[in-house]
Chains A and B, each alone.
Chain A
Amino acid sequence: MIETKNLSKIYNPGKFEVKAVNNISALFKEGEFTSVVGPSGSGKTTFLNCVGGLDQPTSGEVIISGENITKLSGSKIINYRLNNIGFVFQAYNLIPVLSAKENIEMIMLLQGVDENNRISRTNELLNQVGLYEMRNRRPSQLSGGQQQRVAVARALASKPKFILADEPTANLDSKSTSNLLDIMSQLNEAENITFIFSTHDQRVIDRARRVVTLEDGKIVNDNKK
């Protein structure tokens, strides 16, 4: 369970203050498939960054499974992210000099997973995202949609508590978008993996089972289907 308590992120405190995240308290339960939506500049990225421990909130707390991650120090938070949170970004998700397989494996190398488990899990994930045949290709030899699927597999490889995805489909055409969402929702249903993703895309919003709408850093709507 992920909980934010009075979470705020204020840029340029003082003169030209921007309250990118303004006192958000929200709860995300295990197994949810949530989309964070809102106009450009509404604070989606900033909110996800704070939830994922990439950014320090100005005030408030992020509590994941009872642990307040805003209190974690530099190296602890990196380790926390490694073992508990999967990330999928809009672009630049993969290490360009490693193959799809190596990209997925790397996260487990960082975790210190032994070789047998690493290989079997990598193959399993490659199959789940339908890229086993392309496992030896480097990112530059994959389409945008395929790259994002590798990124999802990579995010899952560490067996995280949940996956945060900031506009994972923004650079994809509609076919790749629906393909990626198929995979994400399938993983969500079959393996009960929690997804929180931001998006602008109505087709993506339609697939979400919960839609949290932000405006000016505040939740203005929270719809569960």
Chain B
Amino acid sequence: MNILTLIKISWRNVWRNKLRSFVVIISVVFGLLGGIIIIAMSYGLNEERMNNAVETYLSHIQIHNKSFSEEYNIKYTIDNLEGIENAINNDIRVVSYSKRIILNGMLSNSNGSYGIQVKGVDPIEEVKVTNTYEKIIEGEYFKSEKDNTILVGKKLADRLNLKLKSKVVITFQDENYELTSLLYRVEGIFRSGNSRYDEANVFVKNNSITKNLPNFSGYHEIPILLTDIELRNQVKNDLVSKNSNNLIEGWDDISKDLAYANEMLAAVLYIFMMIILSALSFGIVNTMLMAILERRKEIGMLMSIGMSRFKIFLMISFETMFLSIVALPIGLILSYSIVEYYSVVGIDLSIVEAGLENFGVGTRLYFKVPNQEYFIVAIMVFVISIISSIFPSVRALKINPVEATKTI
């Protein structure tokens, strides 16, 4: 007997009890939908967090002096600056870059002090690599004629009760490890969407630093944006060959936790999906066991007239698998449509704004599901359906052919 006949019988058997099969199929569809929406939200959040980080502070590539990464002394400026600038200016993959002086120190006023990182920037070049200027919520982005103005994050401003024009003192060690202080006035307050970043980073004009440190020249950090974030390893490798004393890092080298988050997330989501699907498979198994119980005599008859145990096993297996395999395309198409819609429109999460800001994302969440996830979910459904078909099929084989002759 060919397998098509068995498949035909199984398929028709699925629809013998339409309501029951329908309920099982719908439950699998909703399980898939729920799971995929959770996947979409998780990836959406993660992606947003990553993009935020890249746009506000990581950029695609950063260059530092190797020693600077080990010890934040301001004397460790970038080596061979001219050579590097030449290289990146001539690289068509580079969209923009900027040069920063970095001071690690304390920011204090009468309300207290905070450990911060000062980014001394050229206001005009800097806007090409970060979006901080867009995130100013009070005051201005370096409009003042004066040199000694500072941009502080909202969180830090709240902590130290800083207002526009508030005076702050920045204290740091110079190249001789001597404490130096610079006075600034707050010109703008930014809110990047990542409160931890806002708490620990401030911006000043770089000439406000060089002016006060006559013996200092050079830069500590070059952030680079590329035409495509995926080019970072290529460009990085090209730069590395010219920069023995500098450390060239992609965003994922600098922020390992963000980079790992994606992989971690995938693993967690697969486990999550497995749990949903396993729960559904119990429903499927239960339905099939009921169906087999009802059809004891019929299965006994099939055995009596000579259908082999293997064929009976296959028949019940197909029947079980059909329940989830029918649900699969419905669930996937439905999920895909919903995900696509909310990947464009986004959903408003402003009720949990504070929590999201701590996590480093905005209040509108855009769904995202990498295409291969659909494929993996489909395979999972397939595997789970095969596994859940074993139990009912084995149960069916336990039926005795004499059932066919029993009157009750």
- A residues at B contact (CB < 8 Å): 45, 48-49, 52, 54-55, 74-75, 78-79, 81-83, 87, 89-93, 95-98, 106-107, 109-112, 154-155, 158, 166
- Cross-chain contact B305 with A154 (CB below 8 angstroms): yes
- If A92-B297, A109-B1, A112-B1 touch, whether A98 touches B9 (CB-CB below 8 Å) is yes
The smallest C-beta distance from B233 to any residue of chain A, in angstroms, reads 58
B152 CB to nearest chain A CB (Å):
75
Assuming A96-B298, A98-B9, A109-B5, is B306 touching A52 (CB within 8 A)? Answer: no
Q: Is A79 in contact with B308, judged by CB distance below 8 angstroms?
A: yes
Query: Is the beta-carbon distance between B305 and A54 smaller than 8 angstroms?
Result: no
Interface contact B298-A95, CB-CB below 8 Å = yes
Residue of B nearest to A48 (CB): B405
User: Which B residues, 362 to 408, have Cβ-Cβ distances below 8 Å to chain A?
Assistant: 401-402, 404-405, 407
B16–A97 CB distance below 8 A: yes
Across chains A and B, which 3 residue pairs bring their CB atoms closest together, nearest first?
A: A82-B306, A97-B12, A109-B1
Contact A93 B301 (CB under 8 A): yes
On chain B, the number of residues with a Cβ less than 8 Å from chain A's Cβ atoms is 25
Q: How far is the CA of A96 from the CA of B12 in the complex (A)?
A: 9
A78 to B308, CA, bound (A): 6
Chain B residue nearest to A91 (CB atoms) is: B297
- A90 adjacent to B405 (CB under 8 Å): yes
Residues of A within 8 A of B289 (CB): none
Known: A55-B402, A92-B297, A92-B298. A83 touches B5 (CB 8 A): no
For residue B229, CB closer than 8 A to chain A, the reply is no
Bound Cα distance A163, B309 (Å): 22
Q: Can you add 16 more A-B contacts, CB < 8 Å, to A52-B304, A92-B300, A92-B301?
A: A45-B405, A78-B303, A79-B308, A90-B407, A92-B298, A93-B301, A96-B16, A98-B9, A106-B1, A110-B1, A110-B305, A110-B307, A110-B308, A110-B311, A111-B306, A158-B306
B302 at the interface (CB under 8 A from A): yes
Q: Tell whether B148 is near chain A: CB-to-CB under 8 Å.
A: no
A154 to chain B, nearest CB (A): 7
- CB-CB < 8 A to B9: which residues of A? 95, 97-98
| Cα separation A116 to B328 with both chains bound (whole Å) | 38
Per the bound structure, the CA–CA distance linking A65 and B297 in Å amounts to 29
Interface residue ranges of B273-310 to A (CB < 8 Å): 297-298, 300-309
Q: 30 pairs across A/B with beta carbons < 8 Å? A: A49-B402, A49-B405, A52-B304, A54-B304, A54-B404, A54-B405, A55-B401, A75-B309, A79-B306, A81-B304, A81-B306, A82-B305, A82-B307, A87-B301, A87-B305, A87-B404, A89-B304, A89-B404, A89-B405, A92-B297, A92-B301, A92-B404, A96-B298, A97-B13, A107-B306, A110-B1, A110-B305, A110-B307, A110-B311, A158-B306
CB distance from A156 to the nearest CB of B (A): 12
Residue on A nearest B311 in the bound complex, by CB: A110
On chain A, the residues within 8 Å of B302 by CB distance are 95
What is the distance, in angstroms, from B307's C-beta to the closest C-beta of chain A?
6
Q: A81-B304, A90-B407, A97-B13 are contacts. A109–B2 as well, Cβ < 8 Å?
A: yes
Q: CA–CA, A87 to B302, complex, Å?
A: 10
Interface string of B1-33 (1 = CB under 8 A from A): 110010001001100100000000000000000
Q: Which residues of B contact A111 (CB under 8 A)?
A: 306
Beta-carbon nearest neighbor of A138 in chain B? B12
* Complex contacts, B16 vs chain A, CB 8 Å: 96-97
| Residues B78-109 near A (CB distance < 8 A) | none
Q: Report A-chain residues with C-beta under 8 Å of the C-beta of B2.
A: 109
Chain B, Cβ-Cβ closest to A170? B407
Distance between B298 CB and nearest chain A CB, rounded to angstroms: 5
Contact A106 B402 (CB under 8 A): no
A107 near B298 (CB under 8 angstroms)? no
Q: In the bound complex, what is the Cα–Cα distance between A16 and B304 (angstroms)?
A: 28
Cα distance A158–B304 in the bound complex, in angstroms: 13
Collect the chain A residues with CB atoms within 8 Å of residue B1's CB.
106, 109-110, 112
Within the assembled complex, what's the spacing in Å between the Cα atoms of A79 and B1?
13
What is the minimal beta-carbon distance from A70 to any residue of chain B, in angstroms? 15
Note all chain B residues with C-beta closer than 8 A to A89: 301, 304, 404-405
Closest to B302 in A: A95
Q: Is the beta-carbon distance between B405 and A110 smaller than 8 angstroms?
A: no
Q: How far is the CB of A199 from chain B (nearest CB, A)?
A: 14
Residue of B nearest to A109 (CB): B1
* Bound CA–CA A20/B5 (angstroms): 39
Q: Chain B residues near A48: list those with CB within 8 A.
A: 405
Which chain B positions have C-beta within 8 A of A166? 405
